[in-house]
Structure 1
Amino acid sequence: MAIDKTRSNGTATLYDVAERANVSGMTVSRVINGSAHVSEKTREKVMQAVEELGYQVNVAARVARVGTLRVGLLYSNPSAAFLSAFLVGAMGQCNRSGAQLFLEHCDDMKSQRKAIERLISQGVDGMLVPPPLCDSRSALKHLKEIGMPAVAVATAKPSPQVSAVRIDDYDGARTMTRYLIEQGHSDIGFIKGDPEHTPAQLRYQAFMDTMHEAGLNVPAERISQGLFTYRSGLLAARELLSQATRPTAIFASNDDMAAAAISVAHGLHLHVPDDIAIAGFDDTPVASTVWPELTTIHQPIGDMGSASVELLVELIKGRRSGEAPAIQHRLMPYTLEVRESTVGGGLAPAFTVQVGPQVS
């Protein structure tokens, strides 16, 4: 097992202890938390390594009560709205499950390992991995190597080795594209999301497939790259709306970028939706606070947060009882929410497209 020896202050890390004792980081965590599921020989090896390296054990982890469930959340999400909605659901389910929630932020591969180490030092029993880290092969591989139960959230291509909670992003984007075509739009611009994020890839592919199936051409200039952030949406929308001939509609890969597109349209004195219809994806709070309110695909982010904690707690309890982890992929339902950004004359009723929930 490769061990990250990087230290922020020159002191020994949990991974240094694991390397010295020739065990996993999870085993070190169990020892310092007083778990009974460790052999005496292994416990002695770990404690000897702790003493030799002068490792400072986290006080909170040492005083953890037997049976306490500790859920870690490893996050790095450019959309604060998505993270906020996810946290509400996750915290609610933690309360119902009698679990504590610990958060750690990371930005890159190096900080991923440090964030994981900090969560382990706090005695977490499993980790939630929301986007975009849900698609980080290095993060998921590392969690598997150290034996940490994990649930990936909102990945469009879940690993067969990791439990996941998601919606059908491809089908959702097809539904939105078909809706715009049915509204009479044949010239539709598209704002792509972060290319490293699998839902962004599938949403774009679904848009292109649906347009081509309808016999509609999509010129290269109708596609603009975004990164799921509001600022990137501003730049992408300006690119689309500054063309000599504008599209009649824009479908953005998430609500932050769609809200930015509405702002750009207002700045150009364009009326939404008469001059330009705009649609998003996710149905985060911004969708109902912008003017006009945003037509979008409702991803049940709060429910996904709740379901991911519920699934992780099942994995943790199974592990504590000695059961082999049962990998589950939960598919949640989505809804097409039709609002004023694509339909003039007042709020149009939403309709629901069910694609779950399912367990596979």
Structure 2
Amino acid sequence: MDKPKPKKAVRRKGRAVTIAEVASLAGVSPMTVSRVMNNQGKVRDSTRERVLQAVRELDYTPNLAAASLAAAQHTRIALIYTNPSGAYLRELLVGLLRIASRNAIQLVIDYWEGLDPEGERAAARSLARKVEGVILPPPLCESPTAVGELTRAGVPLVAISSGRFTDEISCVRIDDFRAAKEITEHLLAQGHTRIGFIRGRPDLSASARRFEGFQAALHEAGVPFEARLVQQGDYTYRSGLKATEKLLAQRRPPTAIFASNDDMGAAAISVAHRRGLDVPRDLSVVGFDDTSAATTVWPELSTVHQPIASMANTAVDVLLRSIRRRDRSTRVLVDHVVPHRLVVRGSVAPLPQAK
């Protein structure tokens, strides 16, 4: 059977040749031309030769920028969100939107608040059919249901701000233990030994690591640990209000409070003001994360800077490398620990000698 002959080339002067004109000359679809030019998909040798002949005849030059954009637009990355901290979400989205716009990635936001395990499984199965990769911030980064279902579906995953690295999912995080130890040491250096601690969500390893860092600093300084100076929070502003009220209502209240995130730290300052206490003269307060909540209170909150926006940037980079790997038979997991730093503002003062 004779091979179909390419049509006679007809070139229009004064403008660039389009992929549609190449397809018409070769007698194929524009999608087939795209596959040949990008060396993707299965194309018969005879068809490939017709396309390449048409390319040569028309002197067709692909628009590399448009091709890159089109390819990137097919890369859909999901952020699954249930974190109760609005300030944390803002920082995370800033980082994700910045890198998504630079790489022309389609960012999909999926909200899973209130789902039980069966609901998470159904949501994960549905999402796995729509995206090439998933970013999991806390608390879903440590959900066995979400991680297990997406991993079984073969979707590359990256966790942000998990307190530990596991052999299940790539991770971008800070050293929560060390950071919490350092900010506790800052309070101890100011003379504070009765330090209240507001814990984060009990189901997150980052919460546990921050508490462990706090305890380690007390132990090294020879300061006895007092369980009554610890209250449970859940990273929300409201939980910070309740925890601070309990701490300051004690017969011997703390002279300083370490809140496990900035939302709860801002709440601690609010309660102190309502009780007529001066911050930091009567009560020193520190937070964690360095989100916008740390600088929307007065005095501004001393805290640990966790570079959430740049962590999101790194997470997308890790995810894209995983998505674009040709060999998907084995998973390559990454544990990327980013540096943190102590940010000293106006919410901490030395303990007066009179106390």
Task: Identify the TM-score tier after normalising by the shorter chain.
Answer: 0.7 to 0.9
Tell me which of 336, 344, 351 is aligned to 2:342.
336
> SS in structure 1 opposite 2:163?
coil
Aligned to 1:186: 193
Query: Where in structure 2 are the equivalents of 1:149-168 lying within 5 Å?
Result: 149-168=156-175
Q: Distance in 2 between matches of 1:226 and 1:322?
A: 41
Q: Distance in 1 between matches of 2:272 and 2:137?
A: 32
Superposed CA deviations along residues 180-220 of structure 1, whole A, max 9, x for unmatched, are 00011111010011000111001011111210121111222
Contact 1:105 / 1:115 at 8 angstroms: preserved in 2? no
Query: Where in structure 2 are the equivalents of 1:197-212 lying within 5 Å?
Result: 197-212=204-219
1:36 CA drift (Å): 5.2
**CA RMSD of superposed structures (Å):** 1.9
Q: Distance in 2 between matches of 1:110 and 1:261?
A: 37
Superposed CA deviations along residues 336-357 of structure 1, whole A, max 9, x for unmatched, are 000000038xxxxxxxxxxxxx
Superposed CA deviations along residues 115-139 of structure 1, whole A, max 9, x for unmatched, are 3234234x21010000111111221
Query: Where in structure 2 are the equivalents of 1:318-357 lying within 5 Å?
Result: 318-319=325-326, 324-343=330-349
Aligned to 1:246: 253
Contact 2:128 / 2:155 at 8 angstroms: preserved in 1? no
Instruction: Give 1 or 2 for the bigger CA radius of gyration.
Output: 2
Contact 2:121 / 2:145 at 8 angstroms: preserved in 1? no
Q: Distance in 1 between matches of 2:237 and 2:41?
A: 49
Q: Distance in 2 between matches of 1:170 and 1:242?
A: 29
Aligned to 2:180: 173
> SS in structure 1 opposite 2:118?
helix
> SS in structure 2 opposite 1:77?
coil
Counterpart AA for 1:332: V
Write out the 4+ residue segments of structure 1 that deviate beyond 3 Å after TM superposition: 321-325
Counterpart AA for 1:335: R
Counterpart AA for 1:105: Y
Q: Bigger CA drift: 138-147 or 112-121? A: 112-121
Aligned to 2:9: none
1:221 CA drift (Å): 1.1
> SS in structure 1 opposite 2:324?
helix
Q: Distance in 2 between matches of 1:155 and 1:36?
A: 38
1:325 CA drift (Å): 3.4
Contact 2:95 / 2:312 at 8 angstroms: preserved in 1? yes
Quickly say closer, same or farther: Cα 1:132–1:291, change in 2 above 3 A.
same
The answer to whether the aligner puts 1:137 opposite 2:144 as a matched pair is: yes
Aligned to 2:83: 77
Tell me which of 99, 106, 120 is aligned to 1:112.
120
Contact 1:73 / 1:128 at 8 angstroms: preserved in 2? yes
Tell me which of 97, 101, 104 is aligned to 1:95.
101
Aligned to 1:231: 238
- Percent identity (aligned): 42
1:246 CA drift (Å): 1.2
Q: Distance in 1 between matches of 2:152 and 2:329?
A: 18
1:295 CA drift (Å): 0.3
Q: Bigger CA drift: 298-307 or 133-142? A: 133-142
Tell me which of 289, 295, 298 is aligned to 1:282.
289
1:323 CA drift (Å): 7.1
Give the TM-score normalised by the residue count of structure 2.
0.76
Q: Distance in 1 between matches of 2:163 and 2:192?
A: 27
Superposed CA deviations along residues 209-252 of structure 1, whole A, max 9, x for unmatched, are 21012111122210101011000000000000011111110001
Q: Which runs of 5+ in 2 are unaligned?
A: 1-39, 43-69, 351-355
Contact 2:262 / 2:293 at 8 angstroms: preserved in 1? yes
> SS in structure 2 opposite 1:340?
coil
Counterpart AA for 1:114: A
Q: How many residues align?
A: 282
Q: Distance in 1 between matches of 2:89 and 2:225?
A: 32
Quickly say closer, same or farther: Cα 1:294–1:66, change in 2 above 3 A.
closer
Superposed CA deviations along residues 11-38 of structure 1, whole A, max 9, x for unmatched, are xxxxxxxxxxxxxxxxxxxxxxxx959x
Q: Distance in 1 between matches of 2:99 and 2:329?
A: 23
Q: Bigger CA drift: 234-243 or 86-95? A: 86-95
Contact 2:125 / 2:150 at 8 angstroms: preserved in 1? no
Superposed CA deviations along residues 90-135 of structure 1, whole A, max 9, x for unmatched, are 11111222211001111332332233234234x2101000011111
Contact 1:262 / 1:272 at 8 angstroms: preserved in 2? yes
